[in-house]
Chain A
């Protein structure tokens, strides 16, 4: 149980275009989802926290107009990278938690974004 999927697993896009990444909890309802960014050989950096039905909370330094997060249902959160540029190329990982009483986060397999 507690499986999180991400789609797509790999995407290549041209500079200036927008890309949407989906994060789904397959067998549970996730009240909170988290979006991380990971550069090669580096740690995970939290970008934003997303709660179903409310606006995402962004970490300091993360442009909310560039990284649009929508958590429209208890099983789906989306991250849209708008007007992508080569410096946005990275590995994006989502995680989900059952509720505020559960400490364990379940991670998706990640999405590799390459912006040409």
Chain B
């Protein structure tokens, strides 16, 4: 079974600085999808960024970018120019095929200090 591991239960960053959240996963598949979701105190899950495994180019969404290392099965999230509103729980998620279930990591609680 696929597993997703986030080794950093908590991270903190100063406002306007850059922070990187780590995620590793285990799979025997060659094509799959990876996601980062944000869960603020409201607990609404918000999609931050997605990556298709067959694409070598790292996905970017404004201040959010990923470092996708397929061979190492690593999928880290970089948040640039951190803002107070970025404070949330961040979950890395794996999806084997389009439309199928998501497997989530344990989450990383990000604190942004003013």
Partner-B contacts on A (CB < 8 A)? 31-32, 34, 38, 41-46, 49, 91, 93, 95, 97-105, 107, 109-110
Partner-A contacts on B (CB < 8 A)? 33, 37, 42-47, 50, 52, 91, 95, 97-107, 109
Give B32's nearest chain A residue, CB to CB.
A103
With a cutoff of 8 Å between Cβ atoms, the chain B residues found around residue A100 in the complex are: 97-100
Check if B104 sits within 8 Å of A103, measured CB to CB: no
Min CB–CB distance B88 → chain A (angstroms): 13
Check if B101 sits within 8 Å of A34, measured CB to CB: yes
Among B50, B91, B109, the residue within 8 A (CB) of A104 is: B50
With a cutoff of 8 Å between Cβ atoms, the chain A residues found around residue B105 in the complex are: 43
With a cutoff of 8 Å between Cβ atoms, the chain B residues found around residue A103 in the complex are: 33, 50, 52, 95, 98-99
With a cutoff of 8 Å between Cβ atoms, the chain B residues found around residue A105 in the complex are: 102
With a cutoff of 8 Å between Cβ atoms, the chain B residues found around residue A38 in the complex are: 43
Known: A43-B107, A103-B50. A32 touches B43 (CB 8 A): no
Min CB–CB distance B52 → chain A (angstroms): 8
The complex places the Cα of A102 from the Cα of B91 at a distance, in Å, of: 20
Check if A43 sits within 8 Å of B104, measured CB to CB: yes
Min CB–CB distance A62 → chain B (angstroms): 13
Interface pairs A-B: 9 shortest CB-CB? A100-B99, A107-B45, A103-B98, A103-B33, A43-B104, A44-B104, A109-B44, A110-B43, A97-B99
Known: A43-B105, A43-B107. A93 touches B45 (CB 8 A): yes
Known: A32-B99, A97-B99. A104 touches B44 (CB 8 A): no
27 contacts between A and B (CB under 8 A): A38-B43, A42-B106, A43-B104, A43-B106, A44-B45, A44-B102, A44-B104, A46-B101, A46-B102, A93-B45, A95-B102, A97-B99, A99-B99, A100-B97, A100-B98, A101-B99, A102-B99, A103-B33, A103-B50, A104-B50, A107-B37, A107-B44, A107-B46, A109-B42, A109-B43, A109-B44, A110-B43
